[in-house]
Homo-oligomer: A and B are copies of this chain.
Amino acid sequence: MTITITAFERSPDGGKGLARDMRVRWALEEVGQPYDVRLLSFKAMKEPAHLALHPFGQIPTYEEGDLALFESGAIVLHIAERHAGLLPDDTNARARAINWIFAALSTMEPPIVDREIARFLEGDKSWYEERLSMVLGRIRKRLSDLSARLGDANWLDGEFSAGDLQMVSVLLRLKGSGMLDEYPNLSAYVARGEARPAYKRAFDAQLAVLTAASTG
């Protein structure tokens, strides 16, 4: 069955690969599944046709036959459960890999997104610098705990898994902040993720959309 995902017609990040369709593309590339992409304008994302697929009017969505999903976390897990390559076979190791998916999305990502929301919504407020330093403190606490757990391992629990795919994707949002440089093992971990051929193919595919839009 054909897999169709949705993505931004013009990504707000200018092709840095931070939009969440990137995580789905990466997962599909890891497991070797082809997919189609339907591009959406910001206007189209808020129209009934898309809201029927995604009640919060965002991207990505995932359609495969009769199935429609709309949370990138659930989509990546779905792909990982259906195809070999993103979850270990051992039952307990599999549960631990899924645990890291949730750790990436529920524990690490919220303060990292807060930094972006603060910049976007409060960048012109008198309190911005003081509040930003509070948010950075919360991010550093999480990075420090994660760094301690990772140690000198290549991946969070044995072989590369969907948990690493999500964690690397979350940490990539800090690229350019300089914060990852404070934790050399996390920097190296993210670089290992970016060096994977599947990551590169996914990155190039999302960038090609932008290039086509700007020259089209």
Q: List the interface of chain A (C-beta within 8 A of B).
A: 51, 55-57, 66-75, 77-78, 92, 95-96, 98-99, 101-103, 105-107, 109-110, 113-114, 121-122, 125-127, 130-131, 134, 142, 145-146, 148-149
Report the separation of the CA atoms of residues A114 and B74 in the bound assembly, to the nearest whole angstrom: 23
- A173–B110 CA distance with the chains assembled, in angstroms: 16
7 CB contacts below 8 A, A to B, read A57-B145, A66-B92, A74-B95, A74-B99, A106-B109, A110-B114, A122-B131
Question: In terms of DSSP, what is the predominant structure of the interface of chain A?
Answer: helix
CB-based nearest B residue for A138: B117
Inter-subunit contact A71/B55 (CB<8 Å): no
The CA-CA distance from A168 to B148 in the complex, in Å, is 34
Judging by beta carbons under 8 Å apart, are B110 and A98 in contact?
Answer: no
Measured CA separation A143–B99 after assembly (Å): 27
Are B73 and A106 in contact, with the CB atoms below 8 A? yes
Q: Report if A105-B103 is in contact (Cβ < 8 Å); known contacts: A55-B149, A74-B95, A98-B78.
A: no
Given contacts A74-B99, A98-B77, A101-B74, contact A107 B56 (CB under 8 A): yes
Contact of A96 among B69, B110, B130, B145 (CB under 8 A): B69
Question: Which chain B residues lie closer than 8 Å to A148 at the CB level?
Answer: 51, 55
* Contact of A95 (CB < 8 Å), options: B55, B69, B105: B69
B56 A142 Cβ-Cβ under 8 A: yes
A127's nearest neighbour on chain B, judged by CB, is: B127
Instruction: Report yes or no: B66 in contact with A103, Cβ–Cβ below 8 A.
Output: no
Verify A78–B95 contact, CB threshold 8 A. Answer: yes
Kindly state the separation between the CA atoms of A68 and B95 in the bound complex, as whole angstroms: 9
| Contact indicator B71/A106 (Cβ below 8 Å) | yes
A121 to chain B, nearest CB (A): 6
